[in-house]
Amino acid sequence: MPAPTPAKGRGRRRALLGAVAAIGAVALLAGCSTSSGAASSGSDYEKASKDTKATLTYAVWDENQVKAIKANLTGFNEEYPDIKVNVDVTPFASYWTKLQTQGSSNTLPDLFWMNGPNFQLYAANGKIAPITGEVKAGAIKPDEYSSALNDLYTYDGTQYGVPKDFDTIGVWMNKALFAKAGVAMPSKDWTWDDFQKTGAELSEKLHADGAYGAAGGMDGQTTYYDTIFQAGGNVIDKSGKTSEYDSAAAEKGLQFWTDLIKSGASPSIKQLTDTTADQWFTSGKLAMYQGGSWFRSALTGTDLEKDVVVYPLPKGKEQATVIHGVSNVVSANSKNKVAAQALQVYLASKQAQQQQGDMGAVIPAYEGTQDAFTKTMPDADLQVFLDAVDYAKPLPVSKNTAAWNTLETNLLPSAFDGSTPVDQVAKDLATKMDTALGKEK
C-alpha cells in the first residue's frame, strides 16, 4: 500500500482520515459465482478417426515434465495431425483452486492431471469421464499398471483415471553415518524390531554429532500410513465412509513412531516440525530416512549421493508400502471428448510412458518402462522402489481427504510425543474423522 501524500495542517488530517475510510471499506471478502452443472456420465468411447480436427487443453502442474510431455505430443500428432494440444501449466499451489473453479462452471480442461486425494471429489460429482469404454475396446489395458494404482482411481467400481507415474516409499540409508557410528548395516530383509534397535543404537553413538538414527514426522504417506498397513490395518475402510484409526492394527502402526521417539532413536516432534526428516537427512544428520522415491531428485548432484543406498521398508506383521501416482483424466463435459480420449489413450501407451521415463523425473506407471529410473543412481539400488509395487497399498483417500488430513496433523502429535496414550488419540481421531466423512458430499 503506498503511503498517502500528506497535505499540510488540517488538510493533512483530512487526507489521513479519508485514507482510513478507504482502507476500512476494503474488505477481505471475495466470492465466486456458482453454477451447478448437470454432468454427463457416459462411459462411451469411439476411436477417433485420423483426420479428427480439434484443439485440446491439457492441464498439468509440473513445469519439469513439460519437455517430456511435448515429446509425447509430437508422437501423438504423427497419429492425429489435426488435433492441436495446448499444455497449460499451473503451479501445484493454485492448480486445485483453479480446477475447482473450472469445475463449478463446467469449463474443465479436456484432459488433466489428477492425484489421489482429489480424485473421488471429481468422480463423485460427475466431473470426469470413466475409462470403461476405452478398456472395453482394448485401447487401455489396466493390467499393465499396478493394481493398487488402478484401485486408487476407481470410485464405486468404475475406473476414471489412467496411471501416468507412481512413487513408493523406502528407507534412504546414509552409509557414511553407519560407518562413523560403527554400527553394522542391517540385513535388507529386516523387521520393525531391527529398525527400532538400529535407530536407537545409531542415535546413541552419534549423540555427540547431534545426529540421529531414524526419524518420524507428520507426513502420513512416508511414515504412519506405511506402518499401519504393515501392522495389517487400514486408515479408512474400503467404502471410504468409516475411519479405521480405532482398530488395534492402526494403533500398533501409530505406536511404532511413539516408540521410536521415546527411545531417542528419532528427534522429537517439535524438532521435526522445525527441521523436517528429509532436511535432517540432506544435512547429513540422519542415518535412516524413510522417504519416497521422489526424494532421489533432492540427492542427485550432492556430496551425499555416493553414500546413499535404499532399503525396503522393514516388515511388521506384513510387508507394505504406500503407493501413489498421478493419472490422466478426461473432463466429462469436454466438447472434444473423442479427441481428448484419443490423447488419454496415447499417453497411456507403452511408447509414450517409456519416453516419459527416459526423459522425465518420474517413474512411469506402465510396467517394464522403468529402467531409466534405476539407472540414475546405479549404486543406490533404486530397484527397491519398483519391487515395492508388488506389496503396495494405495494412498488412503476419500471424497474430501484434506478435511481429515488436517485432523491427523492436529491430533496425532500428542500421541507421538507421548503426552496422551496412543489408543486414546486414535479413538478421538476416529470419531472426528467419521464426522468429517459423514459430511462429505
From CA 373, how far away is CA 414, in angstroms rounded?
38
Among 27, 74, 143, 238, binds another protein (CB under 8 A): 27
Q: Does 274 bind another protein (CB under 8 A)?
A: yes
Fill in the per-residue mask, 400 to 429: x = in contact with another protein (CB under 8 A), - = not in contact: x-xx--x--xx-xx----------------
Residue 233 has a CB neighbour count (10 Å cut-off) of 22
Among 64, 158, 273, 302, binds another protein (CB under 8 A): 273
| C-alpha cell at position 251 | 494403533
Diameter over CA atoms, the chain: 82
Among 43, 77, 104, 374, binds another protein (CB under 8 A): 104
Instruction: Choose between 29 and 208: whose C-beta lies nearer to another protein.
Output: 29
Shortest distance in whole angstroms from residue 117 CB to another protein = 11
Shortest distance in whole angstroms from residue 28 CB to another protein = 5
From CA 117, how far away is CA 111, in angstroms rounded?
18
Count of residues interacting with another protein (CB under 8 A) = 61
Strand partners, 394: 323
| C-alpha cell at position 28 | 477481505
Instruction: Choose between 47 and 98: whose C-beta lies nearer to another protein.
Output: 98
Shortest distance in whole angstroms from residue 157 CB to another protein = 22
Shortest distance in whole angstroms from residue 97 CB to another protein = 7
Say if residues 295 and 362 touch (Cβ distance below 8 Å). no
Of 402, 330, 294, the closest CA to residue 59 belongs to 330
Residue 169 has a CB neighbour count (10 Å cut-off) of 25
Instruction: Choose between 241 and 270: whose C-beta lies nearer to another protein.
Output: 270
Cα distances from 117 to residues 121, 126, 175, 369, 433, in angstroms, run 8, 16, 35, 26, 15
Q: Does 30 bind another protein (CB under 8 A)?
A: yes
Cα distances from 115 to residues 55, 333, 426, in angstroms, run 24, 19, 27
Q: Does 270 bind another protein (CB under 8 A)?
A: yes
Instruction: Choose between 145 and 224: whose C-beta lies nearer to another protein.
Output: 224
Instruction: Choose between 41 and 49: whose C-beta lies nearer to another protein.
Output: 41
Locate cell 488395534: which residue?
A: 248
Residue numbers at the binding site for another protein (CB under 8 A) = 1, 3, 6-21, 23-37, 97, 100, 103-105, 121, 125, 127, 210, 218-219, 269-271, 273-275, 400, 402-403, 406, 409-410, 412-413, 436, 439, 441
